[in-house]
């Protein structure tokens, strides 16, 4: 039997992340051959992975990373079975190393086949499944490219977002992080209302009206105040003609109220702004640039971005583990 030293066990442990006894046993079985010991541990991982293939890996860590030039960013989620493992420092460190690798690839498939310390990322996942004893997999993979890319990871590593800007100017680092924080916190799904599919907006409007009408039946039965039924839910529905028609209606209301025409110009902008706000609830929920900025709700995200100059948000991605 080959004599196994503590240094050999430690080297194998550093290389694979496996426990000390697992490393020692693998080296004993391999008669001191390091590569064979690695292969033994990998095969153990394959056996564990096969046994746990049908397990639910709904926990994990979400990590974002950008390259040294801040022109490319990636988010990955390293999924596992339990929150206990997800919070482990070694697990988060592994997820971070995966994210650093992911930023160099354009698809999840490319990333899984990428080299990771002499094996592929996919092989590393199997190896670590054997080490940790839980099913591990890459859940999400997102990539953005831009003139300046920044990111934000929410405390606890359950939500992260990356944002690409059209220019690298003074303040781009702060804005990219702030917009990523906005996306992480508010859960936007697209950049602007201009990106909505009209059929989706129409369907969503119909569905929301139906829900409110149903609620109003019960509220009416209870003698409570009924909810306002919206005509529109997105700026994409508010054509120039509708805005003009609304303005005329507001003028008629001011006239009926006896407000002097000389002060209408001071009152109308606020009323129009309120009308637009009341009829763009879908935008506030799903459109990043059209949301109120979380650090100053008097302005939109788009207005905040413009505060540093001729810069726009060109792309963003958000990943979360519920």
CATH number of the domain that residue 148 is part of? 3.30.479.20
Within a domain: residue 314? no
Within a domain: residue 302? no
Pairing label, strands 119-120, 292-293: unpaired
Within a domain: residue 286? yes
- Final residue before a domain boundary, out of 128, 152, 186: 186
Within a domain: residue 165? yes
Q: Could you tell me if 66 and 181 lie in one domain?
A: yes
- What's the pLDDT at 25? 78
**Number of domains, the chain:** 3
| CATH at residue 11 | 1.10.8.10
- What's the pLDDT at 228? 87
Q: Could you tell me if 291 and 218 lie in one domain?
A: yes
Assign 3-class secondary structure to the chain.
Answer: CCCCCHHHHHHHHHHHCCCHHHHHHHHHHCCCCHHHHHHHHHHHHHHHHHHCCCCCCCEEEEEEEECCCCCEEEEEEEEECCHHHHCCHHHHHHHHHHHHHHCCCCCHHHHHCCEECCEEHHHHHHHHHHHHCCCCEEEEEEEEECCEEEEEECCCCCEEEEEEECCCCCCHHHHHHHHHHHHHHHCCCECCHHHCCHHHHHHHHHHHHHHHHHHHHHHHHCCCCCCCCCCCCCHHHCCHHHHHHHHHHHHHHHHHCCCCHHHHHHHHHHHHHHHHHHCCHHHHHHEHHHCEECCEEEEEHHHHHHCCCCCCEEEEEEEECC
Which pair of tokens denotes residue 88? 């482990």
- Final residue before a domain boundary, out of 159, 186, 213: 186
Give the residue numbers spanning the domain of 175: 59-186
Among candidate residues 73, 137, 63, 150, the one with its CA nearest the CA of residue 105: 73
Q: Could you tell me if 70 and 179 lie in one domain?
A: yes
Q: Could you tell me if 117 and 173 lie in one domain?
A: yes
Q: Could you tell me if 155 and 78 lie in one domain?
A: yes
Within a domain: residue 308? no
- What's the pLDDT at 168? 97
Q: Could you tell me if 220 and 103 lie in one domain?
A: no
- What's the pLDDT at 215? 94
pTM for this prediction: 0.80
Within a domain: residue 313? no
Q: Could you tell me if 178 and 266 lie in one domain?
A: no
Within a domain: residue 307? no
Within a domain: residue 310? no
Q: Could you tell me if 76 and 157 lie in one domain?
A: yes
Q: Could you tell me if 225 and 274 lie in one domain?
A: yes
- What's the pLDDT at 49? 57
Listed as ranges, residues in the chain with pLDDT below 50 are none
Q: Could you tell me if 155 and 87 lie in one domain?
A: yes
Q: Could you tell me if 175 and 269 lie in one domain?
A: no
Q: Are 219 and 260 in contact (CB under 8 A)?
A: no
Half-sphere exposure at residue 30, Cβ-oriented, CA atoms within 13 angstroms: 22
Q: Could you tell me if 75 and 179 lie in one domain?
A: yes
């Amino acid at each position: 039997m080959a004599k196994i030293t503590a240094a050999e066990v430690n080297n194998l442990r550093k290389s694979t992340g496996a426990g000390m006894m697992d490393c020692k046993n693998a080296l004993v079985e391999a008669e001191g051959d390091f590569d064979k010991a690695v292969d033994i541990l990998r095969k153990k991982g394959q056996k564990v992975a096969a046994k746990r293939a049908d397990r639910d890996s709904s926990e994990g860590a979400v990590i974002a990373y950008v390259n040294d030039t801040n022109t490319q960013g990636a988010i990955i989620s390293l999924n596992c079975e339990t929150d206990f493992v997800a919070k482990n420092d070694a697990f988060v460190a592994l997820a971070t190393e995966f994210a650093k690798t992911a930023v160099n690839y354009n698809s999840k498939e490319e990333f899984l086949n990428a080299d990771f310390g002499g094996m592929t990322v996919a092989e590393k996942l199997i190896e670590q499944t054997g080490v940790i004893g839980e099913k591990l997999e890459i859940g999400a993979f997102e990539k953005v490219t831009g003139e300046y890319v920044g990111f934000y990871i929410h405390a606890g590593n359950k939500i992260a977002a990356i944002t690409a800007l059209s220019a690298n100017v003074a303040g781009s680092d702060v804005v990219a992080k702030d917009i990523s924080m906005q996306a992480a916190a508010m859960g936007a799904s697209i950049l602007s209302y201009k990106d909505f599919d009209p059929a989706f907006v129409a369907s969503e409007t119909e569905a929301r009206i139906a829900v409110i009408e149903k609620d109003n039946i019960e509220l009416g039965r209870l003698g409570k105040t009924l909810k306002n039924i919206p005509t529109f839910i997105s700026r994409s529905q508010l054509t120039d003609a509708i805005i003009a028609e609304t303005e005329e209606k507001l003028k008629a209301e001011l006239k009926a109220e006896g407000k002097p025409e000389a002060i209408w110009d001071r009152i109308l902008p606020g009323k129009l702004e309120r009308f637009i706000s009341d009829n763009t609830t879908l935008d506030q929920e799903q459109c990043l640039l059209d949301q109120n900025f979380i650090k100053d709700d008097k302005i939109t995200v788009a207005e905040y971005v413009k505060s540093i100059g001729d810069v726009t948000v060109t792309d963003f991605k958000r990943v979360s583990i519920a």
